[in-house]
Amino acid sequence: MTRVDKIKTDILDRLQKGLPGHLFYHGIDHTLDVLNAVQRIGSLENISEQEMELLQVAALYHDCGFLVKASGHEAIACDFAREELPSYNFNQQDISTICDLIMATKVPQQPSSALEKILCDADLDYLGRIDFHDIAKKLYQELQSTGVVSSEAEWNRMQIKFLSKDHCLVVGPGAQGIGWWSFNRKLLCAHVFRWMLVHVSRIDYGVLLYCS
Protein backbone atom coordinates (compact mmCIF):
# COMPACT_ATOMS: atom_id res chain seq x y z
CA MET A 1 0.00 0.00 0.00
CA THR A 2 1.42 3.38 -1.02
CA ARG A 3 1.41 6.37 1.30
CA VAL A 4 -1.28 7.98 -0.86
CA ASP A 5 -3.43 4.87 -0.33
CA LYS A 6 -2.88 5.12 3.43
CA ILE A 7 -3.79 8.82 3.46
CA LYS A 8 -6.87 8.09 1.34
CA THR A 9 -8.06 5.42 3.78
CA ASP A 10 -7.52 7.71 6.76
CA ILE A 11 -9.11 10.81 5.22
CA LEU A 12 -12.18 9.00 3.88
CA ASP A 13 -12.74 7.31 7.25
CA ARG A 14 -12.61 10.68 9.04
CA LEU A 15 -14.91 12.30 6.51
CA GLN A 16 -17.36 9.42 6.80
CA LYS A 17 -17.51 9.70 10.57
CA GLY A 18 -17.14 13.43 11.08
CA LEU A 19 -18.77 15.48 8.32
CA PRO A 20 -22.06 17.23 9.17
CA GLY A 21 -25.15 15.72 7.58
CA HIS A 22 -26.08 18.89 5.71
CA LEU A 23 -23.00 18.71 3.46
CA PHE A 24 -24.79 17.17 0.49
CA TYR A 25 -22.07 18.36 -1.91
CA HIS A 26 -18.85 18.70 0.11
CA GLY A 27 -18.74 15.05 1.12
CA ILE A 28 -16.83 11.88 0.33
CA ASP A 29 -18.19 11.71 -3.21
CA HIS A 30 -16.77 15.15 -4.00
CA THR A 31 -13.37 14.29 -2.53
CA LEU A 32 -13.20 11.11 -4.62
CA ASP A 33 -14.44 13.04 -7.65
CA VAL A 34 -11.61 15.57 -7.32
CA LEU A 35 -9.08 12.79 -6.74
CA ASN A 36 -10.18 11.01 -9.91
CA ALA A 37 -10.13 14.29 -11.85
CA VAL A 38 -6.56 15.22 -10.84
CA GLN A 39 -5.41 11.75 -11.87
CA ARG A 40 -7.10 12.08 -15.25
CA ILE A 41 -6.03 15.66 -15.96
CA GLY A 42 -2.55 15.13 -14.54
CA SER A 43 -2.00 12.08 -16.76
CA LEU A 44 -3.11 14.01 -19.83
CA GLU A 45 -0.74 16.83 -18.89
CA ASN A 46 2.16 14.35 -18.54
CA ILE A 47 3.14 15.45 -15.04
CA SER A 48 5.79 13.52 -13.10
CA GLU A 49 5.05 10.79 -10.56
CA GLN A 50 6.10 13.10 -7.73
CA GLU A 51 3.82 15.88 -8.97
CA MET A 52 0.94 13.41 -9.27
CA GLU A 53 1.50 12.27 -5.70
CA LEU A 54 1.41 15.85 -4.40
CA LEU A 55 -1.78 16.53 -6.36
CA GLN A 56 -3.44 13.39 -5.05
CA VAL A 57 -2.64 14.27 -1.45
CA ALA A 58 -3.86 17.84 -1.93
CA ALA A 59 -7.09 16.53 -3.46
CA LEU A 60 -7.68 14.24 -0.49
CA TYR A 61 -7.02 17.00 2.06
CA HIS A 62 -8.53 19.98 0.24
CA ASP A 63 -11.98 19.88 1.88
CA CYS A 64 -11.22 18.11 5.16
CA GLY A 65 -11.41 21.50 6.90
CA PHE A 66 -15.20 21.05 6.69
CA LEU A 67 -14.73 18.65 9.60
CA VAL A 68 -14.27 21.81 11.69
CA LYS A 69 -16.19 24.53 9.83
CA ALA A 70 -16.99 25.74 6.33
CA SER A 71 -15.54 29.22 6.66
CA GLY A 72 -11.80 29.12 6.03
CA HIS A 73 -11.86 25.36 5.50
CA GLU A 74 -8.88 25.54 3.11
CA ALA A 75 -6.60 26.98 5.82
CA ILE A 76 -7.87 24.39 8.30
CA ALA A 77 -7.09 21.64 5.78
CA CYS A 78 -3.55 22.99 5.55
CA ASP A 79 -3.25 22.84 9.34
CA PHE A 80 -4.23 19.17 9.20
CA ALA A 81 -1.73 18.55 6.41
CA ARG A 82 1.16 20.26 8.23
CA GLU A 83 0.43 18.28 11.38
CA GLU A 84 -0.11 14.87 9.82
CA LEU A 85 1.98 14.56 6.65
CA PRO A 86 5.37 14.36 8.37
CA SER A 87 4.22 10.99 9.75
CA TYR A 88 3.90 9.84 6.12
CA ASN A 89 7.49 10.98 5.44
CA PHE A 90 6.62 14.07 3.43
CA ASN A 91 9.28 16.75 3.77
CA GLN A 92 8.54 20.40 4.51
CA GLN A 93 8.95 21.50 0.90
CA ASP A 94 6.40 18.94 -0.28
CA ILE A 95 4.00 19.91 2.51
CA SER A 96 4.36 23.57 1.59
CA THR A 97 3.53 22.72 -2.04
CA ILE A 98 0.50 20.68 -0.96
CA CYS A 99 -0.77 23.59 1.13
CA ASP A 100 -0.27 26.00 -1.78
CA LEU A 101 -2.34 23.64 -3.91
CA ILE A 102 -5.11 23.50 -1.34
CA MET A 103 -5.23 27.27 -0.86
CA ALA A 104 -5.44 27.78 -4.63
CA THR A 105 -8.90 26.16 -4.59
CA LYS A 106 -10.35 28.96 -2.48
CA VAL A 107 -13.03 30.78 -4.47
CA PRO A 108 -12.35 32.95 -6.38
CA GLN A 109 -9.60 30.63 -7.53
CA GLN A 110 -6.24 32.26 -8.18
CA PRO A 111 -3.79 29.47 -9.11
CA SER A 112 -0.23 30.51 -9.88
CA SER A 113 1.34 27.22 -11.01
CA ALA A 114 0.53 24.45 -13.46
CA LEU A 115 -0.24 22.01 -10.62
CA GLU A 116 -2.51 24.53 -8.91
CA LYS A 117 -4.43 24.97 -12.17
CA ILE A 118 -4.89 21.20 -12.43
CA LEU A 119 -6.32 20.96 -8.89
CA CYS A 120 -8.58 23.98 -9.41
CA ASP A 121 -9.94 22.49 -12.62
CA ALA A 122 -10.42 19.13 -10.87
CA ASP A 123 -12.31 20.82 -8.02
CA LEU A 124 -14.83 22.23 -10.53
CA ASP A 125 -14.63 19.33 -12.97
CA TYR A 126 -18.36 18.64 -12.74
CA LEU A 127 -19.08 21.96 -14.51
CA GLY A 128 -17.86 20.38 -17.73
CA ARG A 129 -19.50 16.98 -17.42
CA ILE A 130 -22.74 15.33 -18.40
CA ASP A 131 -23.67 14.79 -14.72
CA PHE A 132 -23.46 18.54 -14.01
CA HIS A 133 -27.13 19.00 -13.15
CA ASP A 134 -27.27 16.05 -10.71
CA ILE A 135 -24.22 17.32 -8.82
CA ALA A 136 -25.43 20.93 -8.92
CA LYS A 137 -28.64 19.83 -7.18
CA LYS A 138 -26.53 18.55 -4.27
CA LEU A 139 -24.78 21.90 -4.00
CA TYR A 140 -28.15 23.69 -4.07
CA GLN A 141 -29.39 21.48 -1.22
CA GLU A 142 -26.28 22.25 0.80
CA LEU A 143 -26.37 26.00 0.25
CA GLN A 144 -30.10 26.11 0.97
CA SER A 145 -29.69 24.15 4.21
CA THR A 146 -26.98 26.55 5.41
CA GLY A 147 -28.92 29.67 4.43
CA VAL A 148 -26.52 30.77 1.68
CA VAL A 149 -29.37 30.77 -0.85
CA SER A 150 -33.03 31.19 0.02
CA SER A 151 -34.80 30.49 -3.25
CA GLU A 152 -34.48 28.75 -6.59
CA ALA A 153 -34.42 32.14 -8.30
CA GLU A 154 -31.39 33.18 -6.25
CA TRP A 155 -29.72 29.85 -6.97
CA ASN A 156 -30.35 30.15 -10.71
CA ARG A 157 -28.84 33.63 -10.75
CA MET A 158 -25.79 32.40 -8.81
CA GLN A 159 -25.24 29.43 -11.13
CA ILE A 160 -25.47 31.39 -14.35
CA LYS A 161 -23.17 34.12 -13.05
CA PHE A 162 -20.65 31.49 -11.97
CA LEU A 163 -20.82 29.64 -15.28
CA SER A 164 -20.41 32.87 -17.22
CA LYS A 165 -16.77 32.90 -16.12
CA ASP A 166 -14.06 30.76 -17.68
CA HIS A 167 -13.28 28.02 -15.14
CA CYS A 168 -11.06 25.88 -17.36
CA LEU A 169 -7.54 26.90 -16.37
CA VAL A 170 -5.55 24.08 -17.96
CA VAL A 171 -4.94 24.82 -21.63
CA GLY A 172 -3.19 21.58 -22.65
CA PRO A 173 -4.61 18.11 -23.39
CA GLY A 174 -6.24 18.02 -19.94
CA ALA A 175 -8.72 20.76 -20.90
CA GLN A 176 -11.36 18.29 -22.03
CA GLY A 177 -14.37 19.80 -20.29
CA ILE A 178 -14.60 23.08 -22.20
CA GLY A 179 -17.21 21.86 -24.67
CA TRP A 180 -19.46 20.40 -21.99
CA TRP A 181 -19.00 23.48 -19.79
CA SER A 182 -20.38 25.67 -22.60
CA PHE A 183 -23.18 23.19 -23.32
CA ASN A 184 -24.18 22.99 -19.64
CA ARG A 185 -24.33 26.76 -19.43
CA LYS A 186 -26.68 26.89 -22.42
CA LEU A 187 -28.90 24.18 -20.95
CA LEU A 188 -29.00 26.00 -17.62
CA CYS A 189 -29.96 29.28 -19.30
CA ALA A 190 -32.78 27.54 -21.16
CA HIS A 191 -34.00 25.94 -17.93
CA VAL A 192 -33.94 29.28 -16.10
CA PHE A 193 -35.85 31.01 -18.89
CA ARG A 194 -38.56 28.34 -18.78
CA TRP A 195 -38.65 28.53 -14.99
CA MET A 196 -39.15 32.30 -15.06
CA LEU A 197 -42.01 31.98 -17.56
CA VAL A 198 -43.84 29.65 -15.18
CA HIS A 199 -42.95 30.99 -11.73
CA VAL A 200 -42.46 34.75 -11.94
CA SER A 201 -44.55 37.59 -13.28
CA ARG A 202 -41.74 39.14 -15.32
CA ILE A 203 -38.50 38.07 -16.96
CA ASP A 204 -35.37 38.85 -14.94
CA TYR A 205 -33.20 40.31 -17.69
CA GLY A 206 -30.36 40.75 -15.19
CA VAL A 207 -30.06 36.97 -15.08
CA LEU A 208 -30.39 36.53 -18.83
CA LEU A 209 -27.55 38.99 -19.45
CA TYR A 210 -25.17 36.29 -18.21
CA CYS A 211 -26.55 33.99 -20.91
CA SER A 212 -25.69 36.31 -23.78
DSSP reduced 3-state for 124: coil
* Cα–Cα distances in angstroms (integers) from residue 164 to residues 34, 152, 184, in the given order: 22, 18, 11
* Cα–Cα distances in angstroms (integers) from residue 120 to residues 31, 37, 165, 179, in the given order: 13, 10, 14, 18
- Residue 107, pLDDT > 70, answer yes
Contact 7, 60 (CB under 8 A): yes
* Cα–Cα distances in angstroms (integers) from residue 141 to residues 3, 123, 135, 146, in the given order: 34, 18, 10, 9
Residues 147-199: tens digit of each pLDDT? 999 988 788 778 877 776 655 555 455 555 544 555 555 556 655 555 555 55
The pTM score is 0.83
pLDDT of residue 157: 78
Going by C-alpha positions, the residue among 70, 62, 161 that lies closest to residue 121 is 62
Cα gap 77→63, rounded to integer Å: 6
| pLDDT tier at 132, thresholds 50, 70, 90 | confident
